[in-house]
Amino acid sequence: MRAPRHHSLLMLMALQAALLIACRAEPPRPTATPTSPAAPAPADQQHPSEELSDWRARGSAALPLVPVDADPITQVDVHPSFDECFAGIQSDTGASPDYTPFAPVIGTHCAGTDHQEIEGIERVVFLGDSVTVGTPPNSSSETYRGLLADRLAERFGLEAPGALWRSWNALAGTALVKQSGDFWSCAKWGARTDDLVEDGSQILDCFPEDERGKKTLVVMTMGGNDIAAFTKDGAEGMPVAEVTANVAAIVQKLRDAVAHLKDPALFPGGVQVVFTNNFEFTDATGDVASCPAAGAAGFDRPWQDPRALADLVVWMMEQYMAIAVETQSDLVFVLESFCGHGFHHDDPDNGCYRGADTERWFDLTCIHPNPTGHAELADMFMAVVDE
């Protein structure tokens, strides 16, 4: 059993690099060595970015791409490509995920993928980190978890949760009550990916034996604290090869967790999973100082090789898509959708600029949504569920 973590507002991601986010950073802890065949041991003589390119290429080639049953021409007509959805969005750093090798089916709403027919839901489980729990200065009535719960209750005829479930316990970093009506929450401030099935056992806590026969929808945000942790490790001098291996282990843990949830032998009622990739507040500029609280939070220590950090995060986000395709789960595009709504939202020279009246979707902690961001996140989840 590991010691309790310190929950700070530290997220040392993308320091002069690209595309990262977090929820709360924590002290380093041991990370397992990856066992995935798609993650070869790094070669000492390679540049770290070449190393990651090699990983990405091998990982893509090893994935079982899921064929589309519909006629290809019809499929193109109905489902847009990722590039069509985000044609006007680009990273100022030049680093961005390439999802094409995984052949995802993109929803017509462009909010995420469309791999599942989500229907007949009998209960809803929220897993993940502080984005899902909710955080000050937002109120409990403004979090995406509560907003989405109301819409899901109406959509599936479920008993809506009460006020205590929508609120959070600031000492425990969790919902005040775990279960209310047909809704459960096992998300926790500072959670990392291994908390899903190992250290924190979020899945076990939210799936008691007598609930496993019900068809369940799992909603999840996860990965921001992992990014914060390995970004901090690299900034403090951990060798890139070791950080790279740790990132591969994080990805494998998410893959194992989602596969676990989708296993009908373990959950005979069936589980459908919708999870996000990770947003970031710099609008793909890497300018962490754009958030006024960034310096106080410790976002000012760069990696020696920022390109290697950018490549690590891009590879990680690509593997999120790989997991969604492999497991036929759905991925919500918060990285791409929030780009242009960060602390460069009013900069017309930014590659994610969306216009003069564009709102910021992040609160003053830099790393959590504000009320508008939570409402937009609820809309994105709902669009994926509905299609």
179-180 vs 183-185, strand pairing mode: antiparallel
Nearest residue to 190 (alpha-carbon basis) of 236, 133, 268: 133
At residue 328, does pLDDT exceed 70? Answer: yes
Average pLDDT, the chain: 81
**More reliable by pLDDT, 371 or 92:** 371
What's the CA gap between 123 and 129, in Å, rounded?
Answer: 20
Q: What is the dihedral of CA 132, 137, 140, 141, to 10 degrees?
A: -110
Instruction: Please tell me the predicted confidence (pLDDT) of residue 33.
Output: 34
* Helix, strand, or coil (residue 244): helix
Q: Could you name the CATH architecture of 48-386? A: 3-Layer(aba) Sandwich (3.40)
Q: Which is it for the CA torsion 5, 175, 291, 96, positive or negative?
A: positive
Instruction: Please tell me the predicted confidence (pLDDT) of residue 23.
Output: 33
Q: Which residues of 2-16 are buried (b: 16+ CB within 10 A; e: fewer)?
A: eeebebebbbbbbbb
**More reliable by pLDDT, 58 or 283:** 283
Q: How does residue 300 score in pLDDT terms, banded at 50, 70 and 90?
A: low
Instruction: Please tell me the predicted confidence (pLDDT) of residue 299.
Output: 64
Q: Parse the chain into domains and list their residue ranges.
A: 48-386
Instruction: Please tell me the predicted confidence (pLDDT) of residue 288.
Output: 78
Query: Following DSSP, what letter does each residue of 125-185 receive, concatenated?
Result: EEEESHHHH--TTS-GGGSHHHHHHHHHHHHHTPPPP-HHHHSEETTTTEESSSEETTEEE
pLDDT tens digits, 257-291: 999 999 999 999 999 999 999 988 888 887 878 88
Instruction: Please tell me the predicted confidence (pLDDT) of residue 297.
Output: 60
What's the CA gap between 199 and 207, in Å, rounded?
Answer: 16
Determine the straight-line distance between the first and last CA of the chain, rounded to whole angstroms.
41
pLDDT tens digits, 329-364: 999 999 999 999 988 999 988 888 888 999 999 998
